Structure 1
Amino acid sequence: MEDQFVIVTIFFGSLLIGFSGAASPGPLLALSIKETLQNGWKAGPLIAIGHSILEFFIVIGISIGINQLLNSDFIAKTISLFGGIMLVILGIQTIISNKEVNINDTKEPSNLNSKTLLLQGALVSLSNPYWFIWWVTIGATLIINSSDQGILGITSMYIGHILADIVWYTAVSLILVSGFKFLSNKIYHYLLLSCGIFLFLMGIYFIYSFFSI
């Protein structure tokens, strides 16, 4: 009975910590807003699932000790450079394509590509060096503490963490979609433009970090 209580505590602790991370502004949130505006509400949960699949492998990696490798300056600099370049490209694409889309196109998207959104969720996470920093510090601590309960403890921690991401990004997408009827095309384009600029600036910042780390 005591072990079950510990497992439940691990789950809810991870869920709450996960919400604090998911709610923080960053490239993944900007991507979710952009894709929701262009593809509808399913974009949010699909991006979050792609993000969660990547985190499944990072949890396994940290569990077997790969966090020491991820902590190296070389790895951090490499992630900053290539991740920054990817975000700059994604930001530019968003800015350029901004005026080619219409708010009415998002209501029933006919070209929603689930695999692309899953991949984007993973790649944008992978491009963010701070995602790695979170996992080799806070995430690694959660895994170590959960490992006292074996595989069940680590699994409970992982499920709690990814559930926070999926719930949060689904909620963001649903809120955006429900607000479509109140959005004019002008505001819609400003939102997309803002997301594109944010992704571009985050990319520039990560590239700058490559030279300053």
Structure 2
Amino acid sequence: MSGLVSLVAGVALGLSLAAPPGPMNALIAQESVHRGWRAGFRAGLGAMTADGCFFVLAYAGVVTFIRHAPTLQTAMKAVGGLLLCYFAYGAAKSAHEGVADTEAGAGFRKTFLAALTNPIQVVWWLTAGIALLDPGTVSAFGYTIAVTNGVLTVLGFFCGILVWITGFPALLRVAGDRVDAFERVVGYGSAAVLCIFGAWFLVDAVPS
């Protein structure tokens, strides 16, 4: 029973990172509605791969180093902001022209690069994510769960992300097949979200 609790806690933790609205889901949505479920799933894998990198970096102690390196954090915010603004332009252009990037790996690369420089993701790993290394309790969606098996918690964490990047693009495709102009609405909406977050990161990178 304790093993199941640890697994479920990990799934909840993964969903708490993957599900909230933000730039990664905007990119996944854009790929899903323009190029289909597989493209959306590949975009999700890009973000998930970045989380795998963050987990390894956390294990190696690099995440803790980032916490005490404000200059590096500022540089990441600036790069992340510029990337998101660039992706916002591409999303708006695709929505306007009704044509998406035809390269199969484009979505994966976009989310992977954006996630690695995403301050929100970095902050998550500096706080809730660091608990994966030696979990005693897991906090997700406002609840705290006691866990006893760290391996199962980590496994559940990545399973939770996998559930989201599988189901979210599928729901978007179903909606797109039933609603006229859904593709264009999502395209412009994704561009707006990316632009807002990109501008926020850039402003946050400016020294006060």
3-state secondary structure, aligned to 2:21: coil
Q: Which moved more, 1:25-34 or 1:53-62?
A: 53-62
Q: Secondary structure at the match of 2:127?
A: helix
Provide structure 1 residue ranges, at least 5 long, that are not aligned to the other structure. 147-152
Structure 1 pair 159/212, CA: closer, same or farther in 2 (3 Å)? farther
The 8 Å contact of residues 57 and 63 in structure 2, kept in 1 or not, is answered as yes
User: For the structure 1 residues 52 and 158, does the alpha-carbon distance in structure 2 shift closer, same or farther, using more than 3 Å as the test?
Assistant: farther
Equivalent residue number for residue 51 of structure 1: 47
- Contact 1:41–1:173 (Cα < 8 Å) also in 2: yes
Deviation, 1:86, is 0.4
**Which residue of structure 2 lines up, in the alignment, with residue 35 of structure 1?**
31
Which one has the largest radius of gyration? 1
8 A Cα contact 1:42 1:170, kept in partner? no
In 2 relative to 1, CA 51–191 (structure 1 residues): closer, same or farther, beyond 3 Å? closer
Name the count of aligned residue pairs. Answer: 195
Q: Which residue of 2 aligns with 1:133?
A: 123
For 2:189 and 2:76, the matched residues in 1 are separated by: 24
Quick check: 1:84 aligned with 2:72?
A: no
Judge conservation of contact 1:45–1:167 (CA < 8 Å) in 2.
no
1:46-68 superposed Cα distances (whole Å, 9 cap, x missing partner)? 12222222222221221121122
Instruction: Select the residue among 186, 191, 196 that pairs with 1:196.
Output: 191
Q: What percent identity do the matched residue pairs reach?
A: 19
User: Which of 170-179 and 200-209 deviates more?
Assistant: 170-179
Contact 1:80 1:207 survives alignment (8 Å): yes
CA RMSD of aligned residues (A): 2.2
Q: Equivalents in 2 of 1:33, 1:126: separation in Å?
A: 19
1:180 to 167, 173, 176: 176
TM-score (norm. length: structure 1): 0.82
Q: Is the Cα–Cα contact under 8 Å of residues 94 and 187 in structure 2 kept in the other structure?
A: no
Provide the rounded CA distance (Å) in 2 between the counterparts of 1:193 and 1:158.
35
* Residue ranges of structure 2 left out of the alignment (5+ in a row): 137-148
Higher helix share: 1
